[in-house]
Amino acid sequence: MQFTSTPRGARLARHLVAQRLCEWGYPYDSPPNETLALITAELSANAVRHGRVRGRDFRVRLIGSGVRGGETLRVEVADTRTEGVLPAVGEIPEAPRLDGESGRGLYLVAQLADRWGSVAREGAPGKDVWAELRVERPSFT
């Protein structure tokens, strides 16, 4: 899914991920949906605020894959900004200052996700920041 690098685009990304998860059997009010929607919101907001390149969009990809009776849900947010330091896989950012106005996004992602990290995009400028959540597969009755 491709979105404009605007706050509206970030909101739409969060809503569409929540909708897709609901279609996959994770209702809006379920912990997996709420958690992954929040992670998507944070990563999308970072793509808009820190990864924005004028005239270029950001992309969101949602993947579900089964693992031993459970499932791994993965969200990837790609932006086109090439400069900046990419966090290492699993790196936990420094806790934000209580009186600080920013710096909570990646810290929150690190606390909520089972795994997360970033990689330089192949074949295109920018980076992919991703987060994974291990969940029980939904039961359909």
Could you say which DSSP state residue 55 is in?
Answer: T
- Predicted pLDDT at 96: 59
Mean pLDDT, the chain, integer = 83
Q: Is residue 21 part of a domain?
A: yes
pLDDT digits (tens, 9 = 90+) for 53-97: 676 778 999 999 876 667 999 999 988 877 665 666 566 666 656
User: Could you count the other beta carbons within 10 Å of the beta carbon of residue 55?
Assistant: 7
Residue 70 three-state SS:
strand
pLDDT of residue 5: 82
Check pLDDT > 80 for residue 133: yes
Average pLDDT over residues 125-139: 86
Average pLDDT estimate for 40-64: 84
Q: What is the pTM of this model?
A: 0.83
Q: Give the domain extent around 132.
A: 2-136
Query: What letter would DSSP give residue 58?
Result: E
- In this structure, is residue 123 part of a structural domain? yes
Domain count, the chain: 1
Alpha helix ranges (H) inside the chain = 7-23, 31-49, 105-112
Q: State the CATH number of the domain containing residue 124.
A: 3.30.565.10
**Average pLDDT of the residues in 2-26:** 92
Name every residue whose Cβ is closer than 8 Å to that of residue 29 and which is 6 or more positions away in sequence: none
Whether residue 29 contacts residue 77, with contact meaning beta carbons closer than 8 Å, is answered with no
d(CA 55, CA 125): 14
Q: What percentage of the chain carries pLDDT values higher than 70?
A: 77
In a domain, 8, yes or no: yes
Check residue 69 and give left, alpha or beta (phi > 0: left; psi -120 to 50: alpha).
left
